[in-house]
Amino acid sequence: MAVRATVSRFPIDTDAREGSGLLWGVTVTPFAASDENGQSPAYGSGGDLLPRCENCWAYFNTYCELEQWSWSCSLCGNLNGLSSDAIERYSRPQSCAEMMSSFVDLELPPQEESDEAALEACPVYVAAIDLSSSEEFLELTKSALLAALEALAPGSLFGLATFSHKLGLYDVQGPIPVVKNVFIPPEAEGTLTIELEDVMPLLQFLAPVDTCKDRIASALETLRPTTSWERTTAAGQGLEGVLLGGRGFGVAMEALCGYLGSEYGNTFALARIFAFLSGPPDYGAGQLDTRRYGEQYASQRKDPDRALLPEQTPFYKDLAAVAVQAGVCVDVFAVTNEYTDLASLKFLSIESGGSLFLYTSTEDSTLPQDMYRMLSRPYAFGCVLRLRTSTEFKPGNSYGHFFPDPQYENVQHVICCDSYATYAYDFVFENNIGFSSKSDVPTLQIAFQYSVVVPPQELSNSGGVSTSRTKHHSLQRRLRIRTVQFGVAQNIHELYDSCDPEVVLSLLVHKVILASLEEGVREGRLLLQEWLVILAAQYNDAYKLVQYSNGNSIRSQLDVAFSQCPQLQSLPRLIFALLRNPLLRFHEEGVHPDYRIYLQCLFSALEPSSLHRAVYPVLTSYATPDKQAYPRHSLSRAALLTSGSPIFFLDAFTILIVFYSSTADQTLPFPPPHDCLLRTTINKLKKERCITPKLIFIRGGQDDASIFENFLIEEQDVDGSGLTSVMGFVSFLEDITQKVLEFMK
């Protein structure tokens, strides 16, 4: 569990926080294997025995003062009694994880073992494939699923379903695959007239991956796109001569969630649906009207960003709630360059703990690699996240892809969570006293309760004779607790010096995404610029850089580059880059609304360092493929030209570009050979990433280099009104200076 704060020394009170212009909050990556410094948790058992404060319910931790019979809570100071068992345990501190580290991962006692429990422990995966699609789409989906089958843990169950104007369920457990179809009613309010359980019993549909891998593969081979004849016949008629796509996605998803959730009272421990979609749902319940996109192009009067960002129907948000209830996580893979209205669809994935992927072409799609990666890494599921603070302050807003608890404040549910998934919180003071007392130590405690599937082989290692004939997965419930203490900044300089700009960026990105969803992209941009203006004004004020008496010289004295404070210096560049990012660029500049939504979903789950790369890519240069020249360049054409390096490597998180300059020595091998330093670096980056970055090699002077050059943003205009005679980043700073002046007056 990694926890990073915007400032490692907290502001002393509300005045100090407001006076600094900085944000105050943390990012939390609960399932990260180590903390932000690379330290692993202390592992142990008996999570249920961990003492809790009778006043604030915080867990006992190493910061608590332990007496012989009692302990005082490090969050609220309450004195709590110790049970005789705890006294006994804490007399041997070396045997207790919670006495050794403020970061612990404790097993909770197993639930009773039964056949039913064994079945529930099986991870269940269902692929739902859009047949109202093309041969190319189906080819890509097949290769993605074949990759997935390789990554699935032994003992997993797999179901294959298809949708178009009908929903198809495959039974692959017999000698030849059998498909049973149910017609989806075309009406916008329709639901299936028959329970899926009656079409095919769930356990016939869900096949063990271990024994049925080949049969699943041959069933995939039989998939064909529905013909346009089939679609029009099903729809009854084309709409004014336009063929309906017949993509009954909404009803299919609704039925599948119910199907997986219905069996055995509750649910399987972990059920995931991979939904492969080749265009907008346009048939039956949950159909989306994509004409609103065309209308935006036609009329210039409305703010198009504002109009295309909200959902057009609550259908998928409601469906997400059903999925959460059933314990089903839905991953949506949209492979399309058509307007698909992800703004409406996204809720189904992000609220159920799934991911949203968008590929605009079947040709260079990384879908199979992304699926393999996603399934081969560890997952926590059925997670509950709870943040507690010491009494002087409390959480304000919370951000991220979770489901808030309907009853308890600051409790969040996450159906499925990987080691990258990151959440953010900001803080407010409980009152106007703040941390003014010398004894105040700002303290955070994050409790993360979760389940993991323990594969059969690990179980047999745990010793003892297995009584069960069939090896099966077991579920393990765990409690991970992290308690962190922070300092208090005694003055504004200490506050600025303790700033972590990457975490500030994370919180800002969450805020501007929310602002653009609620009020439009234009408002989001304004909020961001305003924030920088206020920060710069407060900074100039704090460092007494401006002599108010002499009005004429104010401008020349003003420092918007934060030259006195290295910790803040990267912020203007980050804000500039964020304003240049498709996340916040205008519709008129050609940012596709689905791509914007995809970026919003991606950015709001990234941990701070990854987000930093996505916003302001890392540019390095190499003298040869085996020798680095400079570890860091600013994203400026001028910087590139003056550096004189022949090879550049750009890491923009979703894309990696190797660029050979047109003046590079012709004897340098292109592309870089497989055993060189540059390749090793690339492979390491790819391996560590939650998504598969696209890798591109460009030879300057021969290949089209525009994709690389577009990343060199510092000479580009921030408003997107095209290249102007004024330089981009420089004129941006000029503009900020002007606004700071106005603000300070």
Q: Which residues bind Zn ion (CB under 5 A)?
A: 53, 55-56, 58, 73, 75-76, 78
Residue listed under structure tokens 């501007």:
512
76 or 677: CB nearest Zn ion: 76
**Cβ(487)–Cβ(461) under 8 Å?**
no
443 or 474: CB nearest Zn ion: 443
Q: CB of residue 77 vs Zn ion: minimum separation in angstroms?
A: 7
357 or 435: CB nearest Zn ion: 435
**Cβ(594)–Cβ(606) under 8 Å?**
no
Instruction: Give the separation between CA 50 and CA 59, rounded to whole angstroms.
Output: 7
Q: Which residues contact 729 (CB under 8 A, 6 or more apart)?
A: 573, 576, 636, 713, 714, 715, 718
Q: Which residues contact 166 (CB under 8 A, 6 or more apart)?
A: 181, 182, 183, 184, 234, 248
Of the candidates 119, 148, 274, 123, the one whose C-alpha atom is nearest the C-alpha of residue 213 is: 148
**Cβ(445)–Cβ(388) under 8 Å?**
yes
57 or 586: CB nearest Zn ion: 57
Residue 671, preceding bond cis, omega within 30 degrees? yes
DSSP classification of residue 589: G
Q: CB of residue 281 vs Zn ion: minimum separation in angstroms?
A: 49
Structure tokens at 62: 């190493």
Supply φ then ψ for residue 509, to 5 degrees: -60, -45
DSSP classification of residue 242: B
Q: CB of residue 57 vs Zn ion: minimum separation in angstroms?
A: 7
DSSP string, 385-413: EEEEE-TTEEEEEEESS-EE-SSSTTEEE
Q: CB of residue 442 vs Zn ion: minimum separation in angstroms?
A: 14
Q: CB of residue 523 vs Zn ion: minimum separation in angstroms?
A: 40
Q: CB of residue 385 vs Zn ion: minimum separation in angstroms?
A: 19
Of the candidates 164, 336, 161, the one whose C-alpha atom is nearest the C-alpha of residue 248 is: 164
Q: Which residues contact 233 (CB under 8 A, 6 or more apart)?
A: none
**Surface-to-core class of residue 639, CB atoms within 10 Å of its CB (0-12 exposed, 13-18 middle, 19+ buried):** middle
Q: CB of residue 71 vs Zn ion: minimum separation in angstroms?
A: 10
Q: CB of residue 75 vs Zn ion: minimum separation in angstroms?
A: 5
Instruction: Give the separation between CA 14 and CA 21, rounded to whole angstroms.
Output: 11
Report the run of H or E that residue 709 belongs to, with start and end.
helix 706-709
395 or 700: CB nearest Zn ion: 395
Instruction: Give the separation between CA 679 and CA 682, rounded to whole angstroms.
Output: 5
34 or 55: CB nearest Zn ion: 55
Instruction: Give the separation between CA 738 and CA 375, rounded to whole angstroms.
Output: 51
Residue listed under structure tokens 């330089």:
727
Rg (CA), the chain: 28
Q: CB of residue 447 vs Zn ion: minimum separation in angstroms?
A: 13
Of the candidates 501, 522, 621, 518, the one whose C-alpha atom is nearest the C-alpha of residue 565 is: 501
Instruction: Give the separation between CA 316 and CA 508, rounded to whole angstroms.
Output: 27
14 or 78: CB nearest Zn ion: 78
76 or 217: CB nearest Zn ion: 76
56 or 514: CB nearest Zn ion: 56
Q: CB of residue 55 vs Zn ion: minimum separation in angstroms?
A: 5
311 or 392: CB nearest Zn ion: 392
Q: CB of residue 294 vs Zn ion: minimum separation in angstroms?
A: 58
Instruction: Give the separation between CA 166 and CA 178, rounded to whole angstroms.
Output: 15
5 or 75: CB nearest Zn ion: 75
72 or 366: CB nearest Zn ion: 72
Q: CB of residue 64 vs Zn ion: minimum separation in angstroms?
A: 9
Instruction: Give the separation between CA 625 and CA 673, rounded to whole angstroms.
Output: 8
